[in-house]
Chain A
Amino acid sequence: MATGVKPRVKVPKTAAAGDVITIKTLISHKMESGNRKDKDGNVIPRSIINRFTCDFNGASVIDMTMHPAISTNPYVEFKAKVDASGEFKFTWYDDDGSVYEAAKSITVS
């Protein structure tokens, strides 16, 4: 279990129906690539978040596979189309099996 993992998500609170909104997500994670070596020359084992998904009212917005070339504290920005009020669910999947979740609701008028 990686320590100090904290997801942060930025979603507009309100939008008009049919709007395309921008969502920004950031999760603090060291994203150890598995290519680095410590002082004694031993490879530091890989430990990354390998998948990130976002759903809106059960429909998939984005499903992203991450490889070790994603930077520390993975940041993802993408767009979603909102037709009705609802909740965005964000899920990050860690190499060690941990799952980190966040949710944000939006009011559509």
Chain B
Amino acid sequence: MKLTRRDAMAMGLGATMVAMLPLRVSAGSHGAIMAFTGGAEPGEGDITLTAPEIAENGNTVPVGVSAPGAEEIIILAMGNPNPEVADFKFGPAAGASEASTRIRLAGTQDVVAVARMPDGSFIKTSQNVKVTIGGCGG
């Protein structure tokens, strides 16, 4: 059997999920990125995610995203019950592809931003945020 790149990625993903189960990582978090990119692996690029290193209260964590030229940016919280946080689509009257908002984080985790560029490529960045008090109830 020939081992394709796709097979290798699927195996790697499976292994990662098993290895990370005890940690705060939702099973669907990587899937959420794939759902946005349509299966393409996002690369590195000119995208910035502004988030505090330590958030005292997970109920309101200020985050900002900026990716010059991007058509759409999504924010994902990898350790939340649902990783999707927000999805910004920038229209023709937008002054810059940047926005900021306040989000809930269930605990210490990686926050990820993925941007779709006009040429159809995807770029990604992430930052770890330490949360003292979680913000998803339960």
A and B: bona fide binding partners: yes
Residue ranges of A at the interface with B (Cβ–Cβ < 8 Å): 20-21, 33, 35-37, 55-57, 59-72, 74-81
Q: Which chain B residues lie closer than 8 Å to A63 at the CB level?
A: 88-89, 91
Q: How far is the CB of B43 from chain A (nearest CB, A)?
A: 24
Chain A CB within 8 A of B85 CB: yes
Question: Could you jot down 9 A-B contacts, CB within 8 Å?
Answer: A63-B88, A63-B91, A69-B105, A70-B85, A72-B59, A76-B100, A77-B101, A78-B100, A81-B95
Classify the interface of chain B: helix, strand, loop or mixed.
Answer: strand
Give the docked Cα–Cα distance between A72 and B103 (Å).
9
In whole angstroms, how far apart are the Cα atoms of A97 and B66 in the complex?
Answer: 31
Please, which residues of chain A bring their CB within 8 A of the CB of B135? 71
* Contact residues, B84-100 vs A (CB, 8 A): 84-96, 98-100
Is there an interface contact between A80 and B94, defined as CB atoms closer than 8 Å?
yes
B24 within 8 A of A: no
Tell me if A64 and B95 are in contact (CB < 8 A). Answer: no
Asked whether any CB of chain A lies closer than 8 Å to the CB of B60, the reply is: yes
**Chain A residues, Cβ within 8 Å of B80:** 69
Given contacts A69-B103, A70-B104, A72-B59, contact A60 B93 (CB under 8 A): yes
Q: Is the CB of A69 within 8 A of B60?
A: no
Closest to B57 in A: A71
Q: Which of B64, B84, B86, B94 has the most CB atoms of chain A within a 10 A radius of its CB?
A: B94
Q: Tell whether, in the assembled complex, residue B95 and residue A20 are in contact, meaning their CB atoms are under 8 Å apart.
A: yes
A101 to chain B: closest CB distance in Å?
17
CA A78 to CA B81, docked complex, whole Å: 27
**When the two chains form their complex, are residues B93 and A71 in contact, meaning their CB atoms are under 8 A apart?**
no
Best-surrounded residue of B87, B95, B100, B102 (most CB of chain A within 10 A): B95
**B95 & A59 in contact (Cβ 8 Å cutoff):** no
Q: Which residue of A lies closest to B80 (CB)?
A: A69
Given the complex, which residues of B lie within 8 Å of A61, measured CB to CB?
90-91, 93-95
**Cα-based distance from A86 to B87 in the complex (angstroms):** 26
Contact A77 B95, beta carbon cutoff 8 Å = no
On whether the beta carbons of B136 and A33 are closer than 8 Å, the reply is: yes
